[in-house]
Every structure is written in structure tokens, then in C-alpha cells.
Chains A and B, each alone.
Chain A
């Protein structure tokens, strides 16, 4: 009755088991080969570690070097990648760039055209890490591919930002202006002052996510040259832009005049209260100390915590907190005061 079905299932099972066996054999062979390759790469790495390091420091390479094997290339890739994380000096970085441009750029150019997404991504990572500037035009072309994934797009823009690409502002403001705020932030983090300022000039015309990212970066750089710009942005905007500007001002820890910000300690928005508390703490603004101490009673934990930290920044901060801890009936305020007395306030 079921002969057909049984026959079918037996065939199916047998077929599947054989496929699995074939896969197993393939994977075992691959694992074996990989182990061999791994150890060969390790050998190359041990062999070339010193010359490569020497080259990165001095810029001169003694032995005549050819990269004729894949494993050799991977050894260099891994050595350079290791040093790219630890080397800080400008000369060393330029040497690394030179080395990578000579020995690895063709390889990455090829990889950018790979059919595999992961291979293209790897190439992008290394191009950025080693700063292979000869591939700049290549990246611009890469951006224009018909099918490009979001990750590739963001990464390519990051690279162009790091290379301070000539037409970067036009490219981003006109063509690639629909990314998210976090994506723009990783991109803008790589711009030098000239290009960054160009974006600030066009600030009002840019879409909101770019504005947020720019303001965030100012807070991150803590650069007082952008102070006037940020204060303007705070005064002239509403909503999220205003909060982000305030956040950057609080991070910079300095403003021309504290007056416009004092009323924020009573803002109905808890973020504004918290950021204002941070700002007056950095400024050690005496006239605000009482109000700051009041914020220890705030219903929002973040505000209380920031208030405690800011009070501690004042020379007499410890005594003020001690007084709160001894006298208040508000358990949350006491808790926070004690916590910051113990922490000592030196933590950012």
C-alpha cells in the first residue's frame, strides 16, 4: 500500500544523508586546509613582523618584497591591521598608507568587485584602516553601483569623509541625505575642520538627522571654536535640535554668559534640567548652587544624579551635600547626596 511512499522516503533520506556526508567531507577538508593555511600565515607573520615594524617606523624596506601568495598577503594584512590599532604617529601612519598602497591596493580593488557582500565589506574595512587613498576614485565609483547595501553605502561615505574627499559636502547634502542620525555621526566623526565647518555653514539647510549629528560631534570634540555656533543653534531652534545643542554646550562646559541657561534648571523637560545642571556644574556658577541643590529632589533619577555630580564640582560641594544628607527628609535626595560624597565627584 505504501510502497511508493516508503520508497520515496528511503530515497529521500538516503539522498539527504549522502548530501550531508559530502558536505561533511567538504567541511573537514576545508577545516584541514584552513589549519594548514593558518599556520603558514603565522609563519609569515613571524618572519615579516620585524621588517614590517621597521618599515613602519623608518619608512625604508630592506629586503626586496613580493607578495606572491595569498597566505603571505593575509599575513601582511593581519600585521598591518594589528599595527594600525596601536600606532599613533603621523609618520608611521603615512608609512603604513604607502605600504598598503603599493602592496595591497590592487587586491582590494579587485575585492570591491567581488560578488560576495562580506568580501566587499572586508575590503572597505581595510581601505579605511590603512587609509589607501589611491582608491578614492574607486570608492566614488563604488557608491554609484546600482545595487548597494546600506552597510556598504555608509561605509563608503565614511571612507570618503576620512579621505576629506573634495566634493564630499555636495555629495552628502545633495545625494545621500536620507541616512539616520547615528550613521551621519560615524561619517562626520572623520571630517577635518575645513570640511566640518563647511557643513556648519550649510547647517540650516541640512535635514534634521545631519543637524543632530553635527551638534553631537561638536560636543564630542569639545572644541570652543564652535561655541558661538552652538549657542546660536540653541537660541534659534526648538525641540530636538535645541536639546542637542544644549547637550554639546554642557559637554564643552563653557558658555559666553550663563544667564540664558539658568532658567533651564526649572524647565519642564527633564533633559533640559539635567543638561543645565551639568553646565552650571562645569562653570561652577555660584549663583546657581542653591537651585542645583534643589535638583537633588527632582523626580527623575538622571537629574538627581547629575545634580549630585555637579554640586561636587564646587569647592564647597562636599559640605553642601553633607548638609543635604544630614537634614533632608527626602530619602531619594539623601541617597543621591551620600552616593556622590562617596564617589568623590572626580568621575566624568
Chain B
């Protein structure tokens, strides 16, 4: 009996170890691709003179859709910041998704919104629209009042109202860089519309000085949870997505900021309302559509930071967010499970999907069992201690060292944080990731899986305090 247990124990350890080694090698490859990409553009003074593009930009106007549910705290500032962006032709469509607070009244008051009779071309399904308003001050600002149907539904409603060939979904409380649209539209224009969706880096706004929706000074919060999230975002964007985008393997364009060709979104059927990860699901569906139609289209990611967003500072909200994300990930993968290892879908099916299943989705379970293994081993002694040490060392590589490297990579290439103290702080915190932050998020993600298995519904919205002063 003991012998069997021991064998199982050993093989389990081997399994965890092998898994970690594979994942680490994968990360390393992706990271190297990113380093080369960043290295090339290192110290380039400017990305492009946009003067040459003005004419094209005029022919590619963008509809910016801002879904708002109980956002009275920040909606007016968000819209104001949007109206000052540097892009020649765009419209802003705020969708009030049946808010219970004063979101609607605030908008009407501030921008003199007046009801207009508009025909709605129902290209994708959405809940009934009650009224449509247009601003008397700014004709390109619309407000839709509709019945509550969730974020995806609100985006669909905005999609139906939008006039322009490109749409951008934007979270209510994000702050855009002034050149954000020029930057993300550039690949679309350059490729002569071979690129049909494009997203940019999201950075964290907590700790920055933002006034009236404009970034005044980049700063770093003192809150450990926020600092860890800064590191996490940097790592995900700098290392993961640049590498993936290079080879058209990108499965996520963050819901916080991305531009899509409306034609393709409509073709794909709009945002899906019964998933919590509508942003990822849409990208996967578009990828699938491209392959099924056999067309040569791409989805890209721009490493330049273009959008600043607020992240939770409170552990409760962070936990909810992570559970929700993990569920969204699963729903997207499950809905499109047919793509997994299906050679018909090319690299998306053969590389991206297995990667997201194995590393992103199942990773937390393996990691969690790794942590449990370490704890149990400490009581068992003997050979188990050695397993435990091995697992711990590997998870240091896996968690901390890659994060630290991401921090250095950012300082080496993009250099957004102005002070030496910022760099030091990020560096030191990133080294501690394996000890506390990583296990926490891994645990939450496993909780997300658990909730899903039990079929729980419902998740809290994030409470925002508003980034703008």
C-alpha cells in the first residue's frame, strides 16, 4: 500500500516538474521573440509622422462605444477625455445599460443631450433601446438609453447605432492617450485593411496623476496589490502579446481598448451576451471566421501603451475579477473547442488553443497542486523535500524571474516610469511574486474553476472610485 502511494507521489511530482519545464521553455521562446521585436525599435525617435496618413485616416472614421452601467462617478470625465483625443473623425456613443444611478441624467445635463428620432439598423441582436439622444453641443456625441442587458449587450446596441466602419469598445473609466487611435489605426491603414482588429497595451492608472481625463504625470501606487498588478500587466503585454501578435496567434484584445472593423464584428454576429469574457470570445470567433472563409486577415497588437485603466485595490474585488476572467477564458475555449488541435485552423488551432488550454486554463490547477505538494512534503521529509525544493525553484523561475525580466525589459525599451525609485520598487516586488501574489491569484483562478463546476452564476461588478480628479 505504502509502495503504491509512494509511486503515485513520485509520478505526480514528475508530472508537475515536467509541466513546469515545458511552460518555462514556452515562455522563454515567446520572450525571446518579444526582445527582438522591442530591440529593433529601441531608441527610435518617433513611430511615424501622421501627416502622411491624414487623408486615409479621414476615410477610416471610428465609432467609440462606451458601455456605462452605474458610472455616474466617472462618465462625464471619461467622455470629456474622449472628445479631446487626437483623431480627425470619430463619434462617441455612450450606452447607458439601464443604470440605477444618475448616469443618464448626468450625461443629459452636462452635454445637453436631446432626444432624436433615429432608425436603428439592427445588425446584431440587443435588448430594446428606449431612447437615443444626440448632444446639442457636440453633434458627434450620442447617448443610448436601453434596458439592462450586460456589457456585451450594450456594446451590441452601440454597434447598431454606430455609423462608421470601425468600432472601438472602451471601458467607462479608462483614460486614453491622445494619440491612441492614431497608433492603433496605423497597422490597419499600413496593411491596406489586411489587419481587421488592433489592440494596444493597457497600463494601470492607479497612482498616476490624471486630471479631467488627461494623463498629467505617470506614477506608481504604493499599494502592494496594485504594484503586483502593474508587474503582471507589463509581463503579459510586453512578453506574451508581442510574441503572439508577431505570428498572428493573438487570442485576446483587451476589452478595455481595441479597434475592430465593424464589417467583421457584424459578420461574426456581434458580442456574445452569455459569456463573461465577451472580448476574448469575439476575437476567437473572428479568427475562426477568417480561417473558415480562407481569408488572409490579421489581428495585431501595438506595444505602445495607449490606454490607462483603473484596477482593483481591494482584495475582494481583485478576487472576483480573477475568478470572472478565468471563467470567461474557459467559456471562450469551450465554445470554440472544435479549434483545439484542428489543423484546419492553422497556428490558431495548433498553437494558440493548446497554449491557452494547457498554460492559461489548466496552469493554475497544476500550480496549486505544486504548492500543496510543497506543503505536504515538508511533513513527509526524505525524498519529498527534494521534490519540494525542485518545484519551488522552478516556480521561482516561472513566476518571479520572468516578471523581473519583464520589468527590466520595459525599462530597457519603453521607459514609461520616470523615476529610479519606481524601477527599484517594481524590481523588488517582482522578485517576491512567487511567495505571495502568484499563489493568491492561482488560488482564485482555481476557485473560478470550482464555481464553474458547481454552476454558480453571478459575479460582482468592480467598485470604482474614479481615476480622474
Contacts and interface: CB of A to CB of B under 8 A. Distances in A.
Given A24-B427, A180-B192, A13 B401 contact: yes
A332 B118 CA distance: 8
Contacts of A116: 42-43
Given A118-B41, A301-B163, A20 B401 contact: yes
Contacts of A23: 408, 412
A13 B40 contact: no
22 contacts: A3-B386, A6-B386, A6-B389, A6-B390, A9-B394, A9-B397, A23-B412, A27-B408, A27-B412, A27-B423, A31-B415, A31-B420, A119-B43, A122-B43, A181-B192, A182-B56, A331-B119, A332-B119, A334-B117, A335-B117, A335-B119, A338-B117
Indicate the member of B44, B139, B415 with the most A CB atoms within 10 Å.
B44
Interface string B47-83: 0010010011000000000000000000000000000
A24 B408 CA distance: 7
Contacts of B408: 20, 23-24, 27
B43 A118 contact: yes
B390 A182 contact: no
B404 interface: yes
Contacts of B393: 6, 9-10, 13
B443 to A, nearest CB: 24
Contacts of B424: 24, 28
Secondary structure class of chain B's binding surface, majority of residues: helix
A343 B41 CA distance: 44
Contact of B55 (A220, A331, A343): A220
A186 B49 CA distance: 11
Interface-central residue, A5, A27, A185, by most chain B CB under 10 Å: A27
Contacts of A5: 390
Contacts of A31: 411, 415, 420, 423
Contacts of A331: 119
Contact of B44 (A10, A122, A220, A342): A122
Contacts of B423: 24, 27-28, 31
Contacts of A118: 40-44
A125 B401 contact: no
A17 B401 contact: yes
Contact of A2 (B118, B139, B386): B386
Interface string A1-23: 11101100110110011001001
Contact of A186 (B52, B394, B420): B52
B405 interface: yes
Interface in B238-292: none
Contacts of B380: none
A125 B40 CA distance: 16
A176 interface: no
A23 B386 CA distance: 31
Given A9-B393, A23-B408, 20 more contacts: A1-B383, A1-B386, A2-B386, A6-B389, A6-B390, A9-B390, A9-B394, A16-B397, A20-B404, A20-B408, A23-B412, A24-B424, A31-B411, A118-B41, A118-B44, A220-B55, A335-B117, A335-B118, A338-B116, A343-B139
Contacts of A185: 52
Contacts of A122: 43-45
Nearest to B119: A331
Contacts of B192: 180-182
Nearest to A121: B44
Contacts of A119: 43
B444 interface: no
B74 to A, nearest CB: 29
